[in-house]
């Protein structure tokens, strides 16, 4: 186990299941033997605003939030939100983008434009960029609310954690009636 | 057993493990989950009080009867509770009394970012501050121990980042500390008439002396000597931020932030060459340490405003910013929070924003309606201020203000601190229309019950406050009820009431959209017929997250006909977000909004 603290930043829009995903990720890291801290802000921000969650793990973690240029992996649930947090990324960091667009109010009102070239902009600055269609995967898994587990599947490929740990944590995290759908979404995300 | 817990969950757990069985609170971010979590433990009593002053008085009563009482509030809640606070410092407590103040550096969900460490000094009470969830669980136990030992209320200060971040906590079993419950008569201690208060006042200073001594040996004030060139004096989350970027510096970590361990600070100062005081918000430690004649570096390099992070601390000390911002050339639209689709506030504030009136607003989700496109609010100061401000404005403006002043307040906020102000509008007669935006819950903090919902925190059915009867009892002659999902009715009732002399009360009644979705109410979403939409954008004035604008060039469907030469596009409704509230249908001129037909 490396001594250095690693940081994963989950970002997206309220309602996408980001906090649930970061809870699951944190539990996986605990099961893998790491010290873990995670941080997010609730309250007013949850009403359709940006949502982020920092997950940090290592031998001994102090700060629950990462500083700028210190995040190893950005798991972005919405295309535009990816851009908002690029300055948190290490230059050689990994970025996983869900190919979904959710328009902010100013775009809906026609006052600003939703940027058309998000992925191009990201790949201009970073080498390790993956785009997945988590909504399609969730659809395929039979439950639109499994976008977050599909994203975790894609993330799991970048982490050296035994698949058994992921499965066990997912099993505890979800009630039996939706566990299968979530596990399917996770595996589809893994192979996406 | 180890578990990942938020700071708030850990406080609740710690209180439970210590045998605490009494809690009172008013919800407020970032403190709310402490009481919610605590209320779920077996055998405890927990209540939502109508406001923080009542919550503290309830806690004092329980403590004087011998219970260990936990009272929980956000930082601005302590302002509301300040009256009993300053005097319970004199009387002391009998059982145990711990007050949680959850501060909000960066104003994530608050109207100001006051530093409540100042209250500890002001009210002469000890204060502890944990830095993570494990400490939160331990410190709540220390706080109750100190409370009983020194016969004093004890503050435990959280900040948003400690409350809402999660870290690993070692769970322990509950230890039954039996409360010695009894009615005891001790008027010299508890009747604070001047003669008695003067005597107790002396006791307060004696207690402060003892607490100063105690702080020198308190186990959670810790010195770590590493590199002796650089020393850090800090507490709470700032410790983690600093330790993250400067693991090899020496530290004095203060678990007790008031009173300070003076000898320990002197000892630390003698061991390190240079001292940085790392603290968010006010120079609370810095000023006291400088007053000891010790030279430190503080607010000349660290910001006064906003919460810190490891980068802020590193930049302040190293004098350089390591990150290169602004390498993204794309314009990134902001994503501010918004009222939910189907929110009952949307219709009300659509109407209010279009009245020729000053809308004195208040604290709740509806405060968001000050933003474009609703622009339905002109002020928001604190819980309950809407009614008092409207009344004051009416008397100052006299004829000029007639028919032009509205105060609008949520149900829970009205109960918290609007009732006495409404009484004042009747007593001192002003020309105002007061609207209670009653959505049947405390929505913004996450759907807590209150005295008008008919249910208590622990799920018991109870009496329901009747706002109309209350308004009448307070002396309001004109009390009306509206359905905020009916724009026409809302507008005409508001106009009628504004034209009347004397105060009116309008009850805007419709449950929160989240409350309805929680109750699995069936909804039929709406759609916009692209062949009928004229692109007039009237529906966009609602700022509904389910409605979006599509320019013709962005549409894949090229068959849509322009209805006018000038038409640039059409509005669309996302059926997965829409809950069929029909406000947009009421505004639509072209009759293009209709229910989605399901093929079942």
Over residues B430-438, mean pLDDT:
98
Q: Which residue of B has its CA nearest to A108?
A: B548
What residues does each domain of chain B span? Answer: 2-217, 221-318, 344-518, 526-595
The model's pLDDT over B330-351, given as tens digits with 9 standing for 90+, comes to 889 999 888 999 999 999 999 9
What is the number of alpha carbons within 13 Å of residue B559 lying toward its C-beta?
Answer: 4
Rounded to an integer, what distance in angstroms lies between the CA atom of residue A150 and that of residue A163?
A: 14
Rounded to the nearest 5°, which phi and psi values hold at B150? -105, 10
pLDDT for B324 = 59
Residue for token digits 């799991």?
A156
Q: How many CB pairs under 8 A join A and B?
A: 171
- Per-residue pLDDT for B594 more than 90? yes
pLDDT for B65 = 98
A 3-62: CB under 8 A from B? 5, 13-14, 23, 26-27, 30, 35-50, 61-62
The model's pLDDT over B175-217, given as tens digits with 9 standing for 90+, comes to 988 889 999 999 999 999 999 999 999 999 999 999 999 999 9
The model's pLDDT over B252-291, given as tens digits with 9 standing for 90+, comes to 999 999 999 999 999 999 999 999 999 999 999 999 999 9
- Per-residue pLDDT for B123 more than 70? yes
Cis bond upstream, residue B30 (ω within 30)? yes
pLDDT for A47 = 61
Which domain range does residue A111 map to?
6-191
ipTM of the predicted assembly exceeds 0.90: yes
Q: Which residue of A has its CA nearest to B337?
A: A49
Q: What is the mean pLDDT of chain B?
A: 95
Comparing B302-306, B386-390, B525-529, B593-597, which segment has the lowest mean pLDDT? Answer: B593-597
> Would you call A43 and B29 a contact, using CB atoms and an 8 Å cutoff?
yes
Judge if B221-318 and B344-518 fold alike in CATH terms. yes
Nearest to A67 among B311, B327, B335 (CB): B311
Q: Is residue A49 a part of any domain in this protein?
A: yes
How many angstroms separate the CA of residue B326 from the nearest CA in chain A? 8
Domain B221-318 fold is Rossmann fold (3.40.50)
- Identify the CATH class of B2-217: alpha beta
- Identify the CATH class of B526-595: alpha beta
Question: Would you state the structure tokens that stand for residue B597, as one six-digit string?
Answer: 């037909």
The model's pLDDT over B367-383, given as tens digits with 9 standing for 90+, comes to 999 999 999 999 999 99
- Per-residue pLDDT for B1 more than 90? no
Q: Is residue A126 a part of any domain in this protein?
A: yes
Q: Is residue A1 a part of any domain in this protein?
A: no
Helices (H), chain A: 18-31, 79-84, 105-108, 118-125, 134-141, 147-156, 163-173, 176-191
pLDDT for B600 = 46
**Which of A36, A65, A69, A120 best tests the B interface by mutation, with the highest count of B CBs <10 A?**
A65
For β-strands A50-58 and B221-224, DSSP reports them as unpaired
Residues A39, B161 contacting (CB under 8 angstroms): yes
Residues B286, B279 contacting (CB under 8 angstroms): yes
- Per-residue pLDDT for A1 more than 50? no
Question: Strand runs (DSSP E) across B348-500, as ranges?
Answer: 358-360, 405-410, 433-438, 478-482
Residue A5 confidence class, pLDDT cut points 50, 70, 90: very high
The domain B344-518 having CATH identifier 3.40.50.970: the answer here is yes
CATH number at residue A172: 3.40.920.10
How many angstroms separate the CA of residue B74 from the nearest CA in chain A? 12
Residue A43 confidence class, pLDDT cut points 50, 70, 90: low
Please enumerate in sequence order all residues whose Cβ is within 8 A of that of B351, keeping only pairs 6 or more positions apart, or say none: B376, B487, B490, B491, B494
CB atoms within 10 A of CB B332: 17
């Amino acid at each position: 186990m490396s001594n250095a603290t690693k940081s994963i930043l989950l970002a997206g829009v309220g309602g996408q299941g980001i906090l649930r995903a970061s809870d699951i990720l944190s539990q996986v890291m605990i099961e893998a033997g790491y010290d873990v801290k995670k941080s997010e802000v609730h309250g007013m921000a949850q009403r359709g605003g940006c949502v982020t969650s920092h997950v940090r793990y290592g031998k001994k973690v102090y700060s629950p939030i990462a500083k700028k240029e210190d995040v190893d992996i950005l798991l972005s649930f919405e295309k535009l939100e990816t851009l908002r947090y690029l300055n948190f990324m290490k230059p050689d960091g990994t970025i996983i983008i869900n190919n979904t667009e959710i328009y902010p109010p100013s775009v809906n009102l026609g006052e600003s434009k939703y940027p058309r070239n998000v992925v191009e902009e990201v790949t201009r600055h970073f080498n390790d960029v993956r785009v997945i269609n988590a909504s399609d995967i969730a659809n395929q898994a039979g439950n639109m609310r499994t976008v977050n587990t599909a994203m975790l599947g894609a993330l799991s490929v970048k982490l050296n954690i035994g698949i058994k740990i992921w499965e066990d944590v997912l099993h505890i995290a979800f009630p039996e009636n939706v566990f299968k759908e979530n596990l399917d979404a996770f595996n589809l995300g893994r192979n996406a | 057993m180890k578990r990942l817990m938020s700071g708030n969950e850990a406080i609740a757990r710690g209180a439970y493990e210590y045998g605490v069985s009494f809690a009172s609170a008013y919800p407020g971010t970032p403190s709310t989950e402490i009481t919610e979590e605590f209320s779920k433990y077996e055998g405890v009593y927990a209540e939502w009080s109508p406001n923080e002053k009542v919550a503290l008085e309830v806690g004092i009563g329980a403590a004087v009867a011998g219970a260990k009482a936990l009272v929980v509030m956000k930082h601005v809640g302590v302002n509301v509770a300040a009256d009993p606070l300053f005097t319970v410092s004199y009387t002391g407590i009998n059982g145990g009394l711990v007050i949680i103040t959850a501060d909000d550096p960066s104003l994530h969900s608050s109207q100001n970012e006051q530093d409540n460490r100042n209250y500890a000094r002001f009210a002469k009470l000890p204060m502890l501050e944990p830095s993570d969830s494990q400490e939160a669980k331990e410190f709540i136990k220390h706080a109750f121990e100190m409370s009983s030992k020194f016969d004093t209320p004890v503050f435990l200060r959280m900040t948003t980042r400690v409350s809402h971040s999660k870290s690993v906590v070692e769970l322990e079993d509950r230890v039954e500390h039996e409360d010695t419950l009894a009615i005891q008569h001790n008027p010299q201690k508890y009747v604070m008439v001047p003669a008695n208060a003067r005597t107790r006042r002396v006791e307060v200073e004696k207690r402060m002396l003892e607490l100063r001594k105690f702080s020198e040996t308190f186990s959670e004030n810790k010195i770590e000597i590493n590199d002796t060139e650089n020393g850090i004096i800090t507490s709470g989350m700032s410790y983690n931020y600093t330790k993250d970027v400067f693991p090899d510096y020496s530290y004095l970590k203060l678990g007790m932030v008031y009173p300070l361990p003076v000898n320990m600070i002197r000892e630390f100062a003698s061991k390190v060459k240079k001292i940085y005081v790392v603290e968010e918000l006010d120079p609370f430690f810095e000023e006291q340490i400088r007053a000891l004649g010790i030279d430190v570096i503080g607010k000349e390099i660290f910001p006064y405003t906003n919460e810190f992070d490891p980068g802020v601390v590193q930049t302040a000390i190293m004098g350089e910013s390591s990150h290169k911002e602004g390498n993204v050339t794309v314009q990134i639209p902001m994503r501010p929070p918004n009222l939910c689709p189907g929110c009952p506030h949307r219709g009300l504030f659509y109407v209010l924003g279009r009245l020729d009136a000053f809308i004195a607003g208040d604290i709740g989700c509806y405060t968001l309606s000050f933003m474009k496109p609703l622009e339905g609010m002109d002020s928001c100061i604190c819980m309950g201020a809407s009614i008092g401000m409207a009344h004051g404005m009416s008397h100052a403006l006299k004829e000029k203000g007639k028919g032009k002043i509205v105060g609008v307040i949520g149900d829970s906020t009205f109960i918290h601190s609007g009732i006495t102000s409404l009484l004042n509008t009747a007593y001192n007669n002003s020309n105002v229309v007061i609207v209670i935006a009653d959505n049947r819950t405390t929505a913004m903090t996450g759907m807590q019950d209150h005295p008008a919902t008919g249910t208590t925190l622990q799920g018991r059915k109870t009496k329901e406050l009747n706002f109309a009867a209350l308004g009448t009892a307070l002396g309001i002659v004109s009390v009306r009820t509206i359905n905020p999902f009916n724009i026409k009715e809302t507008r005409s009732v508001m106009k009628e009431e504004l034209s009347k002399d004397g105060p009116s009360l309008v009850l805007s009644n419709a449950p929160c959209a989240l409350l309805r979705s929680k109750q699995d109410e069936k909804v039929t979403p709406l759609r916009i017929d692209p062949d009928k939409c004229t692109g007039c954008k009237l529906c966009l004035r609602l700022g509904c997250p389910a409605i979006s604008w599509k320019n013709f060039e962005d549409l894949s469907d090229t068959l849509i006909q322009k209805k006018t030469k000038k038409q640039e596009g059409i509005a669309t409704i996302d059926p997965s977000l829409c809950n069929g509230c029909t406000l947009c249908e009421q505004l639509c001129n072209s009759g293009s909004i209709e229910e989605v037909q399901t093929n079942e």
